[in-house]
């Protein structure tokens, strides 16, 4: 019986991936040709900016279109999408009868929600970062439907295998960690336990996901969310997605997100150094860091990969240190040359009428998030990020975390102040007079243009406390 099941799954996989897509690769999302630290979409470089109320947006269809429009109206163009089923009203990927899932039968409503979500984001030119496996779905229970006790792959929840046949436990009551766990789900691939039963179902699931997502040019992939599991698991699925995309006539961009907040931890180097397998990076766990160290870690990664530059995304900005630090993280990412910034979702809620509320988990798409996203977009519209570089070396009389600079020397400069301050900027590459454009980030408003003479350097004093950016040209 199990052999028949695996053969059926394999046949489904092959039939799904036999189709070719008709996507113009030049218009699909990919690293910017002139500066691959950034993304390009539809032939133009783009800074990815986001914030949303849930991580698994596709599984929250009520109010989704309004939510995406609100993001777009405030300058956003980037969402995270975990393939999860955590909340009240979410549906599972498999048909359920009499309390048991049948892993050989997909729930078409789940996949229709996914298709609708991809179509809505594509219509709005919103880039989607899909997370294929989120460990938080597979360990201890949380939210209304999240956790191993409710998961379809738990042997007690399906009709397809027993604990003995699958090697999967019926109880997982511990959380994901920085190092590999004992959870057999993450050892299924041939390079580890070669668990053909579990692996077969995982592969059928990934194939079905790709059947939908490979049709869209606005999708990038992340294998796991903040994983500490064996590197071979992420490696296998990254290679698999690349191979399936190639058969479909596509080039796709894949990363794996490690859990350790220290971006110099050894497992991060595995991601940095595998340039073809992981052709972009996500350093979201760096959002546990604050102030100057938060910026320095991104700059470290940027410098480390300088011989093979790729976009460095941050798909989650946590709010555990207060709203002002969340806003500061957003702009420090931009000023460190990051390719994306997105506010993490708020704490768990099921009420779709509460989509725009922030909590200590994340600013989501609440009022402060919307203003910040809008201000970041205003900066990107006036200052050519894609021709610039991080340039704190041009600042003097600067304290830690007081100010951060970007520069295209001789053309444009930008300086960000997290909370007021005064620094000296070297503008010796500029000939003639300068224009200063101050942006009040907290209110999303440009101030009246100021004129100044460079004379080799210029003193910049923020107009007041709070978050400010000045563009000098």
Q: Virtual CA dihedral for 316, 319, 325, 329, nearest 10 degrees?
A: 0
List Cβ neighbours of 277 (8 Å cut-off, separation of 6 or more): 235, 238, 239, 242, 254
- State yes or no: pLDDT of 9 exceeds 60: no
Phi-psi region of 167 (alpha: psi -120 to 50; beta: other; left: phi over 0): left
- What lies within 8 Å, CB to CB, of 141 at 6+ separation is 147, 148, 149, 150, 173
Enter the tokens of residue 193. Answer: 């336990």
Q: Model confidence over 282-314: pLDDT tens digits?
A: 999 999 999 999 999 999 999 999 999 999 999
Q: pLDDT value at position 4?
A: 38
Q: Phi and psi for 401 in degrees, rounded to 5?
A: 65, 15
Q: Which residues have a Cβ under 8 Å from the Cβ of 406 and sit 6 or more positions away?
A: 334, 335, 337, 383, 385, 388, 389, 390, 391, 413, 414, 415
Task: Report residue 274's pLDDT band, with 50, 70 and 90 as the boundaries.
Answer: very high
pLDDT interval class at 357 (50, 70, 90)? confident
Percent of the chain with pLDDT over 90: 89
State the Cα–Cα distance between residues 369 and 323, nearest whole angstrom: 9
> How far apart are alpha carbons 314 and 258 in whole angstroms?
12
Given the candidates 3.30.450.40, 3.20.20.80, 3.40.630.30, 3.40.920.10, the CATH classification of the domain at 2-387 is 3.20.20.80
**Is residue 6 very low, low, confident or very high in pLDDT (cuts 50, 70, 90)?**
very low
Burial of 376 (0-12, 13-18, 19+ CB in 10 A): buried
Instruction: Read off the pLDDT of each residue in 9-14 and give the average, rounded to a whole number.
Output: 48
pLDDT at 349: 74
CA-to-CA distance for 207 and 185, rounded, in angstroms? 18
Average pLDDT over the chain, rounded to an integer:
94
Terminal-to-terminal C-alpha distance of the chain: 71
- Assign residue 211 a region (left: φ > 0; alpha: ψ between -120 and 50; beta: otherwise): alpha
Annotated domain spans of the chain = 2-387, 389-472
Q: Residues near 22 by Cβ (< 8 Å), separated by ≥ 6?
A: none
Q: Average the pLDDT over 336-359 and give the result.
A: 87
- Cα separation, 186 vs 229, in Å, equals 7
E-state strands within 136-218: none
Q: What is the pLDDT of residue 26?
A: 83
pLDDT at 431: 82
pLDDT band at 3 (very low <50, low <70, confident <90, very high): very low
Write out pLDDT tens, residues 180-193.
999 999 999 999 99
| pLDDT class of 244 with cuts at 50, 70, 90 | very high
> Which one has a higher pLDDT value, 21 or 389?
389
Query: In 10 A of CB 215, how many CB atoms?
Result: 18
Record the pTM. 0.95
> Could you report the per-residue pLDDT of 37-53, keeping only the tens digit for each?
999 999 999 999 999 99
pLDDT tens figures, 421-465: 999 999 999 988 999 999 999 999 999 999 988 789 999 999 999
Asked if 159 and 191 count as a contact pair (C-beta separation under 8 A), the reply is no
Give me the CATH topology for the region 389-472.
Immunoglobulin-like (2.60.40)
């Amino acid at each position: 019986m199990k052999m028949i099941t695996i053969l059926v799954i394999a046949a489904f996989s092959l039939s799904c991936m036999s189709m070719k897509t008709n996507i113009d690769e030049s218009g699909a999302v990919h690293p910017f040709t002139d500066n691959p630290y950034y993304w390009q979409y539809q032939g133009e470089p783009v800074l990815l900016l986001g914030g949303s109320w849930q991580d698994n947006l596709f599984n929250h269809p009520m109010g989704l279109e309004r939510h995406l429009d609100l993001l777009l109206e405030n300058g956003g163009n980037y969402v995270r999408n975990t393939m999860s089923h955590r909340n009240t009203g979410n549906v599972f990927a498999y048909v359920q009868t009499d309390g048991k899932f049948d892993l050989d039968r997909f729930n078409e409503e789940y996949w229709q929600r996914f298709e609708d979500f991809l179509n809505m984001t594509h219509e709005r030119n919103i880039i989607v970062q899909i997370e294929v496996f989120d460990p938080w779905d597979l360990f201890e229970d949380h939210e209304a439907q999240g956790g191993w006790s409710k998961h379809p792959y738990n042997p007690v929840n399906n009709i397809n295998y027993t604990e003995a046949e699958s090697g999967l436990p019926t109880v997982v009551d511990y959380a994901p960690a920085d190092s590999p766990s004992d959870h057999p789900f993450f050892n299924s691939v041939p390079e580890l336990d070669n668990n053909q039963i579990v692996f077969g179902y995982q592969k059928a699931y990934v194939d079905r996901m790709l059947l939908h997502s490979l049709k869209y040019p606005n999708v990038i992939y992340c294998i796991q969310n903040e994983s500490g599991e064996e590197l071979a698991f992420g490696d296998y699925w990254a290679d698999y997605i690349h191979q399936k995309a190639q058969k479909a006539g596509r080039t796709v961009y894949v990363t794996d997100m490690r859990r350790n907040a220290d971006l110099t931890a050894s497992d991060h180097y595995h991601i940095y150094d595998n340039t073809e397998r992981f052709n972009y990076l996500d350093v979201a766990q760096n959002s546990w860091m604050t102030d100057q160290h938060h910026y320095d870690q991104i700059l470290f990664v940027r410098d480390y990969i300088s011989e093979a530059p790729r976009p460095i995304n941050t798909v989650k900005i946590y709010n555990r240190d207060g709203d002002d630090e969340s806003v500061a993280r957003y702009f420090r990412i931009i000023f460190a040359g990051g390719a994306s910034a997105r506010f993490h979702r708020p704490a768990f809620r099921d009420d779709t009428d509460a989509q725009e509320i922030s909590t200590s988990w994340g600013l989501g798409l609440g009022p402060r998030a919307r203003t910040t996203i809008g201000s970041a977009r205003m900066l990107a519209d006036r200052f050519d990020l894609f021709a610039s570089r991080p340039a704190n070396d041009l600042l003097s009389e600067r304290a830690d975390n007081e100010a951060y600079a970007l520069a295209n020397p001789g053309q444009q400069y930008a300086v960000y102040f997290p909370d007021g301050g005064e620094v000296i900027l070297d503008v010796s590459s500029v000939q003639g007079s300068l224009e200063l454009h101050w942006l009040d980030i907290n209110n999303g408003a440009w101030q009246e243009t100021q004129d100044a003479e460079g004379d080799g350097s210029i003193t910049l004093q923020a107009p007041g406390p709070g978050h400010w950016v000045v563009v000098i040209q």
